[in-house]
Amino acid sequence: MDNKSFSETLIRLRKEKGLTQADVAERLSVSPQAVSKWEKGDSFPDVSLLAPLARLFGVSVDELLSGEKPTKVEVVEPEGGDLSKVFLRIRVDSKEGDKIRVNLPFEIVEACTGENGKLEISGDGPIKNIDFRKIIELVKKGVVGELVSIESKDGDIVKIYAEVVQ
């Protein structure tokens, strides 16, 4: 968390709720100057204010600090068990700056998943240890949304989504 991203998130959330800095200050029992400093990135709120601040804006503390909206995961009933409209979206952002975007029809993912549960693709990337059999099981049960989110110790970020495309 850095001052700039936190301050940007705070400003965005406050404006989305239609509140002024004075409104936020009053509800948290702090001075308007304190809220102004948070939004300028000059300081952070005391840790004891994070939960009340998150509740005020209707977000989790994690979203408040990271600025990232959580991805909704839901269960849908595929029409007649038809998974032909489901796509698996794989997003990899490597520490070196590489961005990999793969969009595969679910049927192809299922066909390319070996007995070991690994997606049969070449390379030694960050998705090599993901058991796609588990992902396939979830999707067959109707689970869609962000199914996997990994940040490796090397700094690689992997996200896998299942989406129904109309």
Cβ neighbours of residue 53 closer than 8 Å, sequence gap 6 or more:
10, 24, 28, 45, 64
CATH 3.20.20.70 assigned to 3-66: no
The domain ranges of the chain are: 3-66, 74-164
pLDDT (tens digit per residue) in 42-97: 999 999 999 899 889 888 787 888 777 666 666 666 655 677 888 888 888 888 88
Q: Is 146 in a helix, a strand, or coil?
A: strand
pLDDT of residue 22: 95
Residue with token string 């709720």: 17
pLDDT (tens digit per residue) in 94-117: 888 888 888 888 888 888 777 766
Could you list the beta-strand ranges (E) of the chain.
74-75, 86-93, 99-105, 143-151, 157-164
CA 138-107-76 angle, 5° bins: 40
For the ranges 19-23, 31-35, 41-45, 128-132, the lowest mean pLDDT is seen at 128-132
The number of angstroms, rounded, from the C-alpha of 100 to the middle of its chain's C-alpha atoms is: 17
The answer to whether residues 90 and 158 touch, using CB atoms and an 8 Å cutoff, is: yes
0.85 surpassed by pTM:
no
